[in-house]
């Protein structure tokens, strides 16, 4: 993705700061969305996401940064929207400081479970169609279109190893105030990656632990996933991306939720037109047996 539309570099008067940079990037998408049984089953769907990133580096090599997103969704059914209606808004910013392989961030928490390798492998559609390829059931997650959860992330990478610790406190879930702490670790060897995560949460229905294992086998990238989702029992899943050609990829997933004894699946296709533009389409059958599908274009800038 070409991240920079406009960039400015300016000397900062504060002692010890060498330079600051502001970059703009993001994506746009539009197309057709179908949701079986909705008031309007077929609608147009669109989104514009603008990502503003500001960074500065001290003379001793510490990197400071902040990021905020502006997002505007338009979807009559509200299926792909983070908002109650067609509303444009900024989310809550995230701030960080990095040195070497270590990053400490505060603000709109990323969440160790959501960001563990392989969790979203096999996803389909230009809207995501519910993102049911993820097997974890409850945990902190970054919000692009709202306040999100205020917390702390600590990320560290060294060679093949990766560690992500996230924590939030006083997060309101329904009428319950929840504290969450999650830790994810990963290891990559060649074309294979394994990851494991555990979480301590005040919410009994949140995920207790999750596992992912990914590997490349010729043109296919395959990920096996498992999550123990507390009182919601467990979910086992399989995600696959298959490169038909340099430009075209088939994707799909199938997940089984033992708590409700139901299966969700999705299948889709992505075709690159070059220049950060791609055509995407997908069809999903969720755990309740509701079918949804979409087809559209996504362009990164």
Q: What is the DSSP string of 186-209?
A: EEEETTEEEEEEEEEES-TTS--E
- Give Rg (Cα) of the chain: 20
Main-chain dihedrals φ then ψ at residue 6, nearest 5 degrees? -140, 130
Average of pLDDT values for 277-291?
97
Average of pLDDT values for 198-225?
96
Q: Where do the domains of the chain lie? A: 7-300
Instruction: Work out the pLDDT band at 233, boundaries 50, 70, 90.
Output: confident
Average of pLDDT values for 186-190?
97
User: Residue 2 pLDDT > 80, yes or no?
Assistant: no
**Contact at 8 Å (CB) between 155 and 147?**
no
Mean pLDDT of all residues belonging to the chain: 89
Distance of CA 240 to the CA centre of its chain: 17
Instruction: Work out the pLDDT band at 175, boundaries 50, 70, 90.
Output: low
Query: Taking the CB of residue 256, how many other CB atoms lie within 10 A of it?
Result: 17
User: Class of the 7-300 domain?
Assistant: mainly beta
Token pair 């559209």 in the structure block, residue: 296
Tell me which DSSP letter residue 145 carries.
S
What region, left, alpha or beta, does residue 257 occupy, with left being phi > 0 and alpha being psi -120 to 50 degrees? beta
Q: What CA–CA distance (Å, rounded) separates 220 from 237? A: 16
Instruction: Give 53's contacts (C-beta < 8 A, 6+ positions apart).
Output: 22, 23, 24, 25, 65, 66, 67
pLDDT digits (tens, 9 = 90+) for 14-62: 334 455 799 999 999 999 999 999 888 999 999 999 999 999 999 999 9
User: Residue 292 pLDDT > 70, yes or no?
Assistant: yes
Give the pLDDT score at 73: 86
Give the pLDDT score at 38: 87
Give the pLDDT score at 198: 98
* pTM of the full structure: 0.86
Instruction: Work out the pLDDT band at 10, boundaries 50, 70, 90.
Output: very low
Average of pLDDT values for 148-172?
92
Of residues 206 and 7, the one with the higher pLDDT is: 206
Of residues 251 and 203, the one with the higher pLDDT is: 251
Q: Per mean pLDDT, which range of 87-91, 133-137, 194-198 is the poorest?
A: 87-91
Distance of CA 38 to the CA centre of its chain: 26
């Amino acid at each position: 993705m070409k991240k920079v539309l406009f960039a400015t570099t300016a000397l900062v008067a504060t002692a010890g700061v060498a330079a600051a940079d502001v970059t703009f990037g993001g994506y746009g998408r539009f197309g057709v969305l179908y949701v079986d049984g909705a008031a309007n089953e077929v609608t147009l769907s669109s989104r514009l996401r603008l990502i503003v990133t500001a960074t500065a580096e001290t003379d001793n090599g510490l990197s400071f940064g902040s990021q905020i997103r502006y997002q505007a969704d338009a979807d009559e059914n509200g299926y792909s929207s983070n908002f109650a209606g067609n509303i444009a808004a900024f989310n809550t910013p995230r701030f960080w400081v990095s040195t070497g392989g270590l990053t400490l961030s505060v603000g709109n928490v990323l969440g160790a479970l959501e960001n563990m390798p392989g969790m979203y492998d096999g996803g389909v559609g230009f809207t995501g169609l519910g993102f049911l390829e993820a097997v974890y059931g409850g945990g902190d997650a970054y919000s692009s279109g709202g306040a999100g959860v205020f917390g702390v992330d600590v990320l560290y990478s060294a060679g093949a190893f990766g560690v992500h610790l996230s924590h939030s406190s006083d997060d309101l879930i329904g009428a319950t105030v929840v504290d969450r702490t999650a830790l994810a670790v990963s290891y990559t060897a060649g074309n294979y990656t394994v990851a494991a995560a555990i979480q301590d949460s005040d919410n009994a229905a949140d995920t207790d632990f999750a596992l992912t294992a990914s590997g490349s086998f010729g043109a296919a990238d395959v990920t096996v996933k498992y999550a123990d989702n507390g009182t919601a029992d467990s979910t086992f899943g399989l995600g696959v991306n298959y490169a038909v050609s340099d430009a075209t990829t088939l994707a799909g997933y199938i997940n089984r939720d033992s708590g409700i004894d139901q299966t969700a699946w999705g299948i889709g296709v992505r075709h690159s037109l070059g220049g950060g533009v791609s055509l995407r389409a997908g069809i999903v059958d969720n755990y309740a047996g509701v079918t949804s599908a979409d087809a559209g274009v996504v362009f990164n800038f």
